[in-house]
């Protein structure tokens, strides 16, 4: 016979399991990572996660049912955002746990970056020192809407797809440090490859805005510090 105590515990853990089920698909984790950068439409999420709009919509519905994301109709489009900042902290903690417990995370990352010659990266503390002393040009290569939602103070916004056409905006005699969405974002890797081919002294920073904010460092949004 099931006791009230057992019924209570089973019911509680069933609710906890809802979150585990919601994030059990790799693409849903990627969508959460993207939404940590800022709100966006289903179409934008589908393009950036390299899946169909229908598939993205299905994944987002699962996340919404677990109350991890919210949706709002804006004209002809539906815009998704994280339910609150706690969801991003949850994703950040999950990523950190995976990095600490799963050697495969480091192995996959190392193999990719070594193949691209991009293993070396400038740490956040070092970048902060260089930014404060005016030694480097800090380059945010994410889409403009992500830059507007929050960026590292003093960073110049040039999306990676526009970088080749806008190289003249970068002072050639200064070191460039590029960043994007975090350690597993490849846009900064691509940017550094291009910059080095064009004669710039360029480095990739592993930390993105989410990592920056998690350390308690100042982030700017729409010209206003956070």
Alpha carbon 52 to its chain centroid, in Å, reads 20
pLDDT over 90 at 83, yes or no: yes
SS3 190: helix
Q: Is residue 93 part of a domain?
A: no
| Domain match, 81 and 32 both | yes
pLDDT at residue number 33: 95
Q: Where are the beta strands (DSSP E) in the chain?
A: 40-41, 69-74, 77-82, 121-122, 136-140, 156-157, 175-179, 202-205, 220-221, 224-225
Determine which one of 36, 88, 180, 185 is catalytic. Answer: 180
What pLDDT shows up at residue 206?
Answer: 85
Same domain, 57 and 113: no
Number of domains in the chain: 2
pLDDT of residue 121 exceeding 70: no
Please check whether residues 116 and 220 belong to one and the same domain: yes
For residue 10, give the CATH number of its domain: 1.10.10.10
pLDDT band at 120 (very low <50, low <70, confident <90, very high): low
pLDDT tens, 41-65? Answer: 999 999 999 999 999 999 999 999 9
Per the prediction, the chain carries an average pLDDT of 90
* 180 annotated active-site: yes
Please identify, among 23, 54, 88, the residue that sits at the C-terminal boundary of a domain: 88
Q: Domain end: 53, 88, 123, which one?
A: 88
Q: Give residue 173's domain range.
A: 105-225
Longest Cα separation, the chain: 77
State pTM to two decimals: 0.84
Pick from 88, 122, 139: which residue ends a domain?
88
In-domain check, residue 209: yes
Mean pLDDT of 161-177: 92
């Amino acid at each position: 016979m099931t006791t009230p105590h057992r019924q209570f515990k089973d019911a509680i853990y069933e609710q906890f399991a809802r979150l585990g089920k919601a994030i059990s698909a790799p693409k849903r984790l990627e969508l959460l990572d993207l939404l940590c950068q800022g709100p966006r439409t289903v179409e934008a999420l589908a393009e950036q996660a390299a899946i169909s709009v229908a598939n993205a919509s299905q994944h987002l519905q699962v996340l919404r049912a677990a109350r991890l994301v919210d949706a709002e109709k804006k004209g002809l489009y539906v815009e998704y955002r994280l339910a609150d900042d706690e969801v991003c902290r949850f994703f950040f903690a999950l990523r950190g746990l995976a990095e600490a417990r799963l050697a495969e995370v480091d192995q996959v990352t190392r193999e990719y970056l070594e193949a691209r010659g991009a293993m070396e990266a400038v740490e956040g503390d070092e970048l902060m020192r260089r930014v404060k002393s005016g030694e480097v040009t800090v380059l945010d290569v994410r889409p403009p809407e992500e830059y507007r939602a929050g960026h590292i103070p003093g960073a110049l916004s040039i999306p990676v797809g526009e970088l080749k056409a806008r190289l003249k905006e970068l002072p050639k005699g200064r070191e460039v440090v590029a960043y994007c969405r975090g350690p597993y974002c490849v846009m900064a890797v691509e940017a550094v490859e291009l910059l080095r081919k064009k004669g710039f002294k360029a480095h990739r920073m592993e930390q993105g805005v989410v990592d920056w904010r998690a350390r308690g460092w100042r982030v700017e949004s729409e010209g206003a510090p956070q």
